[in-house]
A and B are shown apart, each in its own frame.
Chain A
């Protein structure tokens, strides 16, 4: 159970909601409600936007593919014992 109330997408201002469209594009999935982490990061765009750009830069294809990097992220999350 989250310790904060996660706001629905329509509770965010229009400009912030554009971040949710980017989220759908990033995951190649049409979410009914943006993922919880996307809504958390949208809470403060001045934090979430640069954090998200750094993430996307790290995850973009290079010597490793995006899919391979998702696997790296999964094992990092696993050893951090993060179920999310």
Chain B
């Protein structure tokens, strides 16, 4: 991981802000995938007729996801306040900031593919296409995911120490809002 963060910084993503955003996307993607894949067969998603107070959140989700409420959000609707907070974090993570929603979706697809999440792989692949990424772009993300699923295992098998962290430029800017 250190090598690619360093390489990415040398390739122009020198500031820390995009990397914070990438980390948040990675975390919340995995969080939703865990619920989606783990609960798919045992806890069906609620819908507008059964979700009660969560229907307002469903409306926000639909507005963000082209009319769709992804199944894990439907499952979380059993606790509307919890759903609202998870949704708010998700929306923030995937919104255009320093990184585009398009790239964030590519990251989420890569995370889902790497972790063998059936839900995440299907959902984020559909989102990538909806956001205009073509088959070539999809194949690019698959290629990077596959190749670095190889390099990481070679590194781990030989227990290589990271030796590239120091080559990246350091972002000395203060925390946001400081």
Chain A residues in the interface with B (C-beta under 8 A): 1-4, 6, 27-29, 31, 35-37, 40-41, 51, 54-55, 57-59, 62-80, 82-84
CB atoms of A64 and B13 under 8 A apart: no
User: Is the CB of B156 closer than 8 A to any CB of chain A?
Assistant: yes
Give the distance in Å from the alpha carbon of A1 to the alpha carbon of B13 in the complex. Answer: 30
A69 contact from B22, B144, B151, Cβ within 8 A: B144
Q: Is the interface of A mostly helix, strand, loop or mixed?
A: helix
CB atoms of B167 and A73 under 8 A apart: no
CB atoms of B8 and A64 under 8 A apart: no
CB distance from A38 to the nearest CB of B (A): 10
Give the distance in Å from the alpha carbon of A57 to the alpha carbon of B155 in the complex. Answer: 21
CB atoms of B111 and A40 under 8 A apart: no
| A-side contacts of B111, CB under 8 Å | 75-76, 79
Give the distance in Å from the alpha carbon of A28 to the alpha carbon of B150 in the complex. Answer: 23
CB distance from B169 to the nearest CB of A (A): 11
Instruction: Digitize B153-178: 1 where CB-to-A-CB distance is under 8 Å, 0 elsewhere.
Output: 11111111111100100000000000
CB atoms of B3 and A84 under 8 A apart: yes
Interface size on B, residues (CB 8 A): 55
CB atoms of A83 and B8 under 8 A apart: no
| A-side contacts of B103, CB under 8 Å | 64, 68, 71
Chain B residues in the interface with A (C-beta under 8 A): 1-5, 7-8, 10-13, 18-19, 22-23, 25-26, 30, 99, 103, 106-107, 110-111, 114-115, 133-134, 136-137, 140-141, 143-164, 167
CB atoms of A79 and B30 under 8 A apart: yes
Residue of B nearest to A58 (CB): B143
A62 contact from B4, B8, B136, B162, Cβ within 8 A: B136
Give the distance in Å from the alpha carbon of A75 to the alpha carbon of B71 in the complex. Answer: 24
CB distance from B23 to the nearest CB of A (A): 8
B160 contact from A2, A31, A65, A67, Cβ within 8 A: A2
